Amino acid sequence: MNPRRILLAISGGIAAYKAPELVRALRRAGHEVRCALTPEAERFVAPLSLQAVSGATVRKDLFDPGEEGEIDHIGLADWADLIIVAPCTANLMAKMAHGLADDLVSAVLLATHAQVLIAPAMNVNMWSHPATQQNLETLRERGLHFVGPDEGELACGWEGRGRMSDPSVIADVANTLVAPKTLVGERVVVTAGGTSEAIDAVRALTNRSSGKMGFAIASEAARRGADVVLVAGVTSLPTPHGVRRIDVRSALEMRDAVLVEFDAATIVIKAAAVADFRPVEAVAEKIKKEDLRDGEQVTLELVQNPDILAEISARKGSRTVVGFAAESRDVVAAARRKLERKGCDLIVANDISRSDAGFEVDENAVLFVWPSGEVESLSLMPKTGVSAELFDRIEKLREDR
């Protein structure tokens, strides 16, 4: 995950209680994390808790002789590859915009050359105030990055924009900012999730795909600097940061969306679980049992859906096209046959009979099956890790070409 040195700067908002969760998310990605608090932040989160989850001494006093002797605020500013300000109050945003430095956090932010990611958190009226919005634009013009705030119920009882983004979202944006930008200039189209083929007004043929693998792939492509389009089937997953999303339901809708994006694409990854068949005709109203005689059978006539992967592989040109194969037996043999039929550059195969990998879980164990006949096996790992391994190989393939 390209580990970096990340300083988490915490200001005095109620959302500071989420800081330990953010530290854990960053450390799970392999980053070294240190924490610095404003004087007010200590009212909402205990330094000892942050020290326990970060494994590092928490800094909170600009004029502590012991701490200044070890690492002063300039040294801390120079140490960080990325500074995350979460939560960032309206007061701290104002200090940053006007160059004030009257505590450790504001002094570090004034002294650093690192990238800065701000996660605002405040009352909706404070967020919408012209002064805050002007400070926001000032900081954006200086190149600082923002995530959130989100809408919802606020600690003060108000409803509206002002909630700090979820720690997992902040960590994901942070990972994107610090990742090497090896895919700049590439347009990556990813399909993800299952499709839904209507039977009547309420019923449909679908599958168990959650979309987690495809969404992880889209997120990794964005981290590496690609222009990413995610064609998403039936899934409830949130859109990854920096990704343009197109929602579809049926296989035909997915085909149309992929073909629209195909001409501008340089890499296409078909990770969606697309239905092979659809009903010949969907009934406009709900089919009711009371309209049938007792014991009467209902026949569902199906027709094949277009083969999107084969269609785009046939006209790929210099594009790199990757397909996925979800198999329940003879995985390698089935993947090789699919690779030959489709004509793509690589098949990523996984055994869906396993309970710990594949559909609906966060981990996967896959095989990379190449036209040369070579088969690479990846042990069980998070789908984020599979995505990174996949793009390492795609980049090597495109470099060799």
Q: Which residues are catalytic?
A: 156
Taking Cα atoms as reference points, which of 131, 149, 194, 114 lies closest to residue 359?
Answer: 194
Q: What's the rounded Cα separation, in Å, for the pair 35 and 48?
A: 11
Cβ neighbours for 222, distance < 8 A, ≥ 6 positions apart: 176, 228, 240, 241, 242, 243
Taking Cα atoms as reference points, which of 126, 34, 26, 24 lies closest to residue 71?
Answer: 34
The structure tokens 């995505």 sit at: 387
CA distances, 132 to each of 37, 39, 317 (Å): 21, 21, 50
CB atoms within 10 A of CB 350: 22
Q: Residue 391 in contact with residue 224, Cβ under 8 Å? A: yes
CA distances, 258 to each of 145, 216, 324, 349 (Å): 31, 18, 16, 21
Q: Which two tokens stand for residue 84?
A: 């995350």
Q: Residue 104 in contact with residue 38, Cβ under 8 Å? A: yes
Q: What's the rounded Cα separation, in Å, for the pair 338 and 341?
A: 5
Q: What's the rounded Cα separation, in Å, for the pair 222 and 216?
A: 10
Task: Return the SS3 of 124.
Answer: helix
- Residue 290 carries which DSSP code? G
Task: Return the SS3 of 217.
Answer: helix
